[in-house]
Amino acid sequence: MPSFREPLSAQAIRAALVNVPSIKEVVYLPSVGSTNDAARDRAAQGAPHITLVVTDDQTAGRGRLGRSWYMPPRAAIAMSILVWPDLDAAHSNRLTMLAGLAVAEGIEQVTGLAAKLKWPNDVVVNDQWTMDNEQFKKVGGILTESAIVGERVEYAVVGIGLNVNVDFVDQPELAATATSLMRLLGREVDRLSVLAAVIGRFAARFDWLSAGGALRAAWSARLVTLNRRVEARTAETVLTGIAEAVDDGGALLLRTDDGALHRLLAADVTLRA
């Protein structure tokens, strides 16, 4: 049986991406604090569009809302994609939409698992045997950090964390809400195949977006959050209501019980019964 716990390498990643010519540079770091920081440093040094930074051991991974991101060495994918997009700052959330789609499509391509998205940036898979009582658990997350100049995105770092072969045995609290491709399939999964599929989909979706293509329909179709009763915690308040729709900017349109429609750009959303 092959071991998928071997370290990656720049050479192996480049070989896996041979059919994705838009990836101009691959940076492999055996260990790093955060690939998002490493990609931002490369941007400051003029690294090209599209540069991919990958590590086997991320020691200070960040999630949204200042949370830390758990990653045991060589068991997961932690990578950041540096892009210099032609994008208004007001549309920077589109990169998170694009990355979410790419991760879900890449997972499906390699594993056949039905990957969904939980607004705004979680990649989730149903963890239950029966479909009538779905329990979605998180397999991946996206953290997009943009450098804004005037009203434009100068560059953006799209960070992707994906639980491929993480067992969570020492992490009972995380295991309540998170899972991995290995846990879902009952076997280890080749990280390089998943990485290549996700990056392939990212590059294709990026071309689509750059050519004026819309992401909302495909994104909405995967959102488990829509038409559900949710609780949304923003920095200012807690709102409960029906998640009616998302708009082209990636905002969530939440109808509260008093009939008001709220446009949320950032919030922590929990599905309610």
Q: How far is CA 143 from the centre of its chain?
A: 7
Q: Give residue 107's identity as a one-letter amino acid code.
A: I
Q: Which of 143, 199, 230, 239 binds ligand BTN (CB under 6 A)?
A: 143
By CB under 6 A, which span of 62-70, 178-186, 216-224, 239-247 interacts with ligand BTN? 62-70
Beta strands in 164-221 (DSSP E): none
Give the count of residues interacting with ligand BTN (CB under 6 A): 21
Closest separation in Å from C-beta 136 to ligand BTN: 14
- For strand 238-246 and strand 229-233, is the pairing parallel, antiparallel, or unpaired? antiparallel
**E strands, 150-220, in order:** 152-162
Which position among 100, 106, 120, 159 is part of the footprint of ligand BTN (CB under 6 A)?
A: 159
Which has the closest alpha carbon to 230: 222, 238, 218, 221?
238
**Which uninterrupted H or E stretch holds 139?**
strand 136-149
Q: Which of 16, 36, 87, 104 binds ligand BTN (CB under 6 A)?
A: 36
**What distance lies between CA 73 and its chain's CA centroid?**
19
Pick between residue 17 and residue 158 the one whose CB is nearest to ligand BTN. 158
Find, among 83, 107, 251, 222, the residue nearest to 159 by Cα: 83
Among 10, 20, 29, 63, binds ligand BTN (CB under 6 A): 63
Q: Does 250 bind ligand BTN (CB under 6 A)?
A: no
Q: Does 165 bind ligand BTN (CB under 6 A)?
A: no
Residues contributing to the site for ligand BTN (CB under 6 A): 34-36, 58, 61-64, 67, 69, 78-80, 121-122, 141-143, 159-161
